[in-house]
Amino acid sequence: MMDIFGEARRISSMSYVFEQMQEKGIKIDVVTYTSLLHWFSNDGDVDGAVRIWEEMKTRCCDPTAVSFTAYMKVLFDHNRVKEATKVYKEMLQSGCSPNCYTYTVLMEHLAGSGKYKEVLEIFNKMQEAGVQPDKATCNILVEKCCKTRETWAMTHILQYMKENLLRPSLPPLETLKVASESDVLLRQVNPHFSIERANKDEIDDCNAISTDIESVIDGRLVLHFLRRKNFVAVDYLLSYMMDKNTRMDSRIISTVIEVNSAHCRPTGALLAFEYGVKMGLRIERTAYLALIGVFIRTNSYPKVMHIVEEMIRAEISLGTYLGALLIYRLGCVRKPGSSAKIFDSLPDEQKNTATYTALIAAYFSSGNTDKGLKMFTEMKRKGIRAALGTYNVLLSGLEKSGRVHEVECFRREKKNLQGDGRFEDTVPLEEMICNRLFAGDAVS
């Protein structure tokens, strides 16, 4: 009954019910007192809330963690910081352990005072005490950080949320949209729309283009965090946007992939790539190359194949050099099937000296000498000229296999090629690539 009157701001009626309870000798518990002080404070009567608190203690009604926390919030909300701090110390001395909401009240006050270093100290200490920040706590802190643009503190909290699979009900981008930046961005993408003067009809008229506005704002936020190298925030935004199917400019996603790759962040680059694939964006070739390079360096060849398959599906050419390099490297890690798959996906004009030689090297490296020789025979049958690099591969592979007779045969062919007298500037590009890739012992 008292909560009903309190919520309706009928404080006099609430007080009357409380007096009737006292007169009739009804036992008043800590829950009732906590409810009363909350509603007095909510009505702006902080002195009334303080009076209720003192009465509760006088009547030997021991406060609980909930009542301590509720009273602390009342005092903090009315700038009575010293009194709130005293209540917190009293809570600890009474042996009452702070709960998640207690810590949230403390951190919310500190954030409101701009003390974000202290906020993070409490954020870490509560975890050490075995109290894990929940979704509500994180959302409150992220919102505070966004409004004051404390991105360094927000990054720490977002990292925790990411690790603990907490999804925001009010994510950073939404918070920024209602903060000062949103007004500027909305005007930039829709200059005829005045937020201050917009009436309901004008807002309804803008619903048709709201998706485009959201997309532009989201993209600018991603670029903002990317420029600041706040990669955790970028990951967080992309994850949220992927869940909500929010589409973004393909050039921005390509940039995110390239920057993450350049900073050796394969997980961030792959997240952006998966976002692009899911949203059907045309990722730029340079972004594909950067991503492939990252996973080649970390020997993550299943991921390399996944990226290459998407690249082929998007009809983006690998090119002779990249195609040959991938074919060869996959063979070196004993994946000749993947090498052959890439080779088969190449257009006919890219099935040349360099890529054939790479496939031969891939088969030799994986121990399949006969298949390598078969590819060389096919290469010659199609009239594709062998280069010096091709013979380096053949000689190296056959020597390792102990096939002496064939080694001597190919050594003579190589000598004849060297005696051809062709200058390097007259050698076709694919042969030059082949010679550069396979200048030495090309079979591991």
Based on the domain organization, do 79 and 149 belong to the same domain? no
Q: 343-351 contacts: CB < 8 A, separation 24 or more?
A: 345/312, 345/318, 346/318, 347/317, 350/317, 350/318, 350/319, 350/320, 350/323, 351/384
Residue 178 is predicted with a pLDDT of 46
Residue 186 above 50 pLDDT?
A: no
Assigned domain for 434 exists: yes
pLDDT at 281 over 80: yes
- Co-location of 356 and 440 in the same domain: yes
Q: How many CB atoms lie within 10 A of CB 278?
A: 11
What is d(CA 438, CA 29) in angstroms, rounded to the nearest whole number?
85
Q: Are residues 118 and 107 in the same domain?
A: yes
CB 170 within 8 A of CB 143: yes
User: Are the beta carbons of 426 and 403 closer than 8 angstroms?
Assistant: no
Using the 3D structure, point to which of 97, 121, 155 is the last residue of a domain. 97
One domain, residues 59 and 152: no
Residue 235 is assigned to a structural domain of this protein: no
Q: Report if residue 203 sits inside a domain.
A: no
Q: Are residues 334 and 442 in the same domain?
A: yes
Residue that wins the pLDDT comparison between 143 and 203 = 143
CA distance 388 to 238: 48
Predicted confidence at residue 169, as pLDDT, reads: 55
pLDDT digits (tens, 9 = 90+) for 54-94: 888 877 778 888 888 888 998 898 889 999 899 999 999 88
Domain final position from 109, 141, 170: 170
Q: What is the pTM of this model?
A: 0.55
pLDDT tens for 191-202 read 333 333 334 443
CATH number of the domain where residue 45 is located? 1.25.40.10
**17 or 342: which leads in pLDDT:** 342
- Spatial separation of the C-alpha atoms in residues 92 and 102, rounded to whole Å: 11
Handedness of CA 332, 333, 334, 337 (dihedral sign): negative
| pLDDT, position 381 | 94
Q: Provide the mean pLDDT of the chain.
A: 81
Q: Are residues 331 and 436 in the same domain?
A: yes
Q: Are residues 84 and 104 in the same domain?
A: no
- Region 11-37 average pLDDT: 76
Range of the domain at 27: 1-97
Residue 232 domain flag: no
Q: Which residue has the higher pLDDT, 25 or 138?
A: 138
Neighbours of 5 (CB within 10 A): 18
Give residues with Cβ within 8 angstroms of 385, minimum separation 6: 353, 428, 431
Q: Number of structural domains, the chain? A: 3
Which among 170, 188, 223 is the end of a domain?
A: 170
67, 23: one domain: yes
Residue 195 lies in a domain: no
Q: Is residue 259 part of a domain?
A: no
Q: Which amino acid is at 243?
A: D
- Are both 42 and 156 inside the same structural domain? no
Predicted local distance difference test score (pLDDT) of residue 342: 93
Contact 396, 365 (CB under 8 A): no
Whether residue 309 is contained in a domain is answered as no
298 pLDDT higher than 80? yes
Q: Is the pLDDT of residue 127 over 80?
A: yes
Do 83 and 105 lie in one domain? The reply is no
Tens-digit pLDDT profile for residues 370-386: 999 999 999 999 999 99
11 in the same domain as 89: yes
Burial of residue 425, with CB atoms counted within 10 A of its CB: 0-12 exposed, 13-18 middle, 19 or more buried: exposed
pLDDT score for 63: 84
And the tokens for 60?
């030997």
Residue 2: pLDDT over 60: no
Is the same domain home to 373 and 427? yes
